[in-house]
Amino acid sequence: MMKVVTAYRCEHCEKKILISKSGMYKHEAKCFANPVMKACRTCSNYTIFDREVINTITGDQMHDGCNYFKKSFQEEGFKFKHFCKGWKPAEERNW
């Protein structure tokens, strides 16, 4: 028999769903889509490439990256950050 439960969805990324309210508070506090965290996903320097985009000079596939640091997130050791020094507010994006 099916049971009805209450679930909580992140208001920032709208992907994460938890049944624990306290768990969702913890997630939202560190969510990369939360503009308060000044993370890559809410920054105007964050570049999103369609997976089919190819660099016409090198022939390589383009990857999401950061215009401030001039790096791709495919580079070893380069990851999303919270409270980034290069963060600038971006217009709303639909994830």
pLDDT digits (tens, 9 = 90+) for 73-82: 877 888 888 9
pLDDT in tens, 12-71: 998 899 999 999 999 999 999 999 999 988 999 888 765 555 555 566 665 678 888 888
DSSP symbols for 23-39: HHHHHHHH-TT-GGG--
pTM assigned to the model? 0.71
Counts of helices then strands in the chain (DSSP H, E): 1, 5
